[in-house]
Amino acid sequence: MRFGGIAWDVDGTLADSEPRHHRALLAASRRWGVDLAALPEAAFRGLHNADVWQTLQPRFPATLARDTWLDAIDDAYVDDAGPIHPMPGALDAMRGLSGRGIGQVCVSNSNRRIVVANLAALGVHDLVAGIVGLDDVAAGKPDPTPYRAGCALLGLPPASVVAVEDSATGVAAARAAGLFVVGFAGPGTPAPAGADLVTDDLRDVLGLFVLNGG
């Protein structure tokens, strides 16, 4: 199979952003007097915040609207001055694929403004042809809709697109959409089960592609 495009997960795959997401969750929740400091940093890895809300809602005032809470988390994330570091091989992989003429999109369970902030911090926003964020679709991962939307942005059938994921929910979404799935094992975290290929260095995805037209 010749692959023509790639759909990147962002948080935990391209960007080591989980610590910043965790800080944003804690900071936003403190606005309503809720202390979540006892939660492990990876408690909600791979989940979109709408599902996190379902878990945490009983801790918050009954009058608090979900969207108000979600907006507060996004605000705290964007305002965080802490750095966002690329995952191993991420920048080389994205730049290498761009040089080969391979279309790239980002498919995330974070809202678009978070994805844009991450890509800007990594300096790769100009390498991406499109973004599918949580606010762009009716259902987030593990539903296949985000990856189907990403393939549509690339103008490619799912079977010719590679998805790169670090979470079980992401792998499930990409497989259900019909993409070839690379499971990424980040520093200190295992690769998710169910991927077609596993790596701990994102430069390995370059081997799945050839020069367009070559």
Q: How far apart are CA 143 and CA 5, in angstroms?
A: 20
Q: Which two tokens stand for residue 166?
A: 């670090």
**Cα three-residue angle 196-163-74, rounded to 5 degrees:** 135
**Active-site residue among 9, 74, 136, 166?**
9
What are the CA-CA distances from residue 60 to residues 11, 34, 190 (Å)? 26, 7, 33
State which H helix or E strand residue 146 sits in: helix 145-154
Describe the strand order of the beta sheet including 103-107 as a list of residue ranges. Answer: 130-132, 103-107, 5-8, 161-165, 180-184, 197-199
Task: Judge whether 9 counts as a catalytic residue.
Answer: yes
Q: Which two tokens stand for residue 24?
A: 């944003």
Q: How far apart are CA 156 and CA 149, in angstroms?
A: 10
Q: How far apart are CA 90 and CA 185, in angstroms?
A: 12
Q: Could you write out the DSSP letters of every residue in 164-195?
A: EESSHHHHHHHHHHT-EEEEE--TTSPPPTT-
Q: Which amino acid is at 96?
A: G
What is the set of active-site residues?
9
